[in-house]
Structure 1
Amino acid sequence: MAQLTTTSPAPAPRVREPRFHRAWVIAVVAGAAIVTAGAFTTVPGLLVTPLHENYAWDRGQIALAASVNMILFGLTAPFAAALMDRVGIRRVVVGALMLVSAGALLTSFMSQPWQLVAYWGVLIGLGSGCLTMTFAASITADWFDKRRGLVTGALSSSSHLGQLIFLPLLAWSVDRFDWRPPVVTLAFVALAVAALVFLLLRDHPADVGAKPYGATEFVPKPARVPGAARRTIAVLVSALRTGPFWLLAGMFVICGASTNGIMWSNWAPAAHDHGMAVTAAASMLSLIGIFSALGAIFSGWLTDRFDPRRLLTVYFAIRALTLLALPLVFSSTVTVLMIAFVVVYGLVDVATVPPVIELSRRVYGEDGPIVFGWANSAHQLGAGAAAFLGATARDMFGTYDVVWTALSVACVVAALMALVVRAPRPA
């Protein structure tokens, strides 16, 4: 009798995960785009004096372009997040960099103040507004399941990194070659980064047959979401009916007021009130930027491990203490206490971003980047209000001490607000 033999089916081939995940390439390319956009935020301050001397334009006319740029920078972000869901991240980023480059090139040929507003204010404002922290939130949400907070912090610090890298070079170039060569150079840098984005950036891991970094299962690419502008407004209307949005937006209003809103426009005159030289004050502000970048990365690492609400409470409490102590550490020279303030304040400057992005994701799911975009618009609103009201208070009271105290109290309020945000824990 013949012996029957049974054969078991051959085991399925084992798919080896790549040692180096494509997500890290995407993060680096996204960081390059954000660094480039951040470089353009440093230019208006360098153009005021050359344009005033060359064209005899009023400083107010020149500042109007920067104001329009800042407003559009904040308002564009939530619409850009929805547009990325509609046509893809790569197309939006390439288009934004092309818009920024076109605005810079056209600025080099302008002859009237309204052209500065149109080119630098509108075109560059719209383009750079697409490359904000909302863009970072979209990248991390799609490409990372683990290390999301760390990557968010690194990308959030990229804008400051662009300022730190390009500001000394741009200032030296303007001083030596006038204002046009650095503006044109930045335009070509934006074009080069646009080409890099087109070649390497992809919308979703499924486009290259990969899983998000740290994910255990393959994630299909979501369908395109039509009606980007309509969806952006709809998400806002829906979020306005929820308590967490008001808390997140309220915290970011205070965050904007107590960081770039007051510091970028009032730090130098406040230091001058205490007899500090302009160069020393500028050096301290640059040092704040360095520690802001480090603080954002470290905050992202912490956000992966701790409750983001508790982190926000700690950050705002530390910021409140530093602002309250600032009048005591200001002096005519750079002291150890001043450096200590710069280090501590800088570390919590942008540190609030990764926790707020994570809370937006937890509460609002796939609408999280758009919700964060609207919260970021509130951040710009707080920044603009502090820039104006801070200077007004200085004129009324003859000192900035009342400003630092008021902002310190506001940060205490923000610290308490963070504790009551209702957010589900991640699965």
Structure 2
Amino acid sequence: MFDLKWIRENPDAFDRAMRRRGLEPQSATVLDLDARRREAQTQLQEMQSRRNAASKEIGQKKQAGDDAGAEALKQEVSQLKQSLSETEERERQLARELEEVLSGLPNAPADDVPDGEDESANVVVRSWGDTDRFGFTPRQHFELGESLAMMDFEDAAKLAGSRFVVLRGGLARLHRAIAQFMIDVHVTENGYEEVVPPFLVNSKTLYGTGQLPKFGEDLFQTTEGYWLIPTAEVPLANLAADKILHAEDLPQRYTALTPCFRAEAGAAGKDTRGMLRQHQFEKVELVSVTHPDRSWDELERMTGCAEDILQRLEIPYRVVALSAGDMGFAARKTYDIEVWLPGQELYREISSCSNCGPFQALRMQARFRAAGEKATAPVHTLNGSGVAVGRALIAVVENHQQADGSIAVPAALRPYMGGAEVISPDG
């Protein structure tokens, strides 16, 4: 959401930001609705003031014996009540229209975000690790998983349908080990508070982080009206909703290991083989609620936390700055971390770390107050994957595969695997 005052004072900058997002200029529409709503509010105040004054005058007229004057004032008050009702409805309708327009507009890109319509304009910032370390032709994760009899898509399809998997044995334990390793590092070393949030949330919560109303088709909803979370960002960021935080208590950093549920409505035909794009997966999420002066430093810190996980897992990766046209709806700036998958000979995204600035805070009414000050201001929110568990499993399996089809267990995970160094068909 945008600050209307900022749009009134910076209409050209607002339009430039929307153009960078691939949209037509929006300031004329927004400011017209805003002006008509404020005009209606002014009329309401004037009519309410006149109604109150006229009501007092009625008694004065009666005391003075001016029955005709009192009756005329009664008729005026009656007409004012009707006009007030009509104007109040007009003001509410204009407010709804204004909110509908604003809630559908993406966040303004930061100045240093690359211009471009899609991922072709993304810029590689840095890379880590050796992508050419095999003396044999590496296989894809699903080929390895199926040959180990530990990755079952047929039973998953029988149980639920497409875009699900059943993990067994060593790969099931490896999946759990990756999740536990990541959450331990973020809590004990990186200073994030571990949270177990609800996995079902209401519409207001999804509105706060920007998934609703625009992206409802990407979500799963229950018959009772709850929504399954697409990411733990949704409940974690909303911990600050409708609160005034103390500036000295910022930043607040949260992490959670949760299942995530996505309808993948726009992914028909994409990544239909394997575990890359599923309806259900687990992710370790990182969320920061910060002071506006420190949010850019926090973005670099958060990205570094996710990178450290991949380095400890010995997985080659690169960090990419997303273009304005490729960023998520709520982001001002995003770094994607992409892991190298030797079976595909491609980099694939495993984490997105984004600074949303005040965009989500304005939707959530999340504010802070400096010590000794009366005024409040929106906090800045950030989110990132630290990282997606299923995709980390894919990356470990492909990057640590051996010529005989077994999987070497990275040293960082062995304490979580009972000391096991290899996952092989014999278990």
Identify whether the pair has TM-score above 0.5, normalized to the shorter chain.
no
**RCO higher in 1 or 2 (8 Å CA, sep ≥ 6)?**
1
- TM-score, length-normalised on structure 1? 0.22
Larger gyration radius, structure 1 or structure 2: 2
Structure having the higher strand fraction is 2
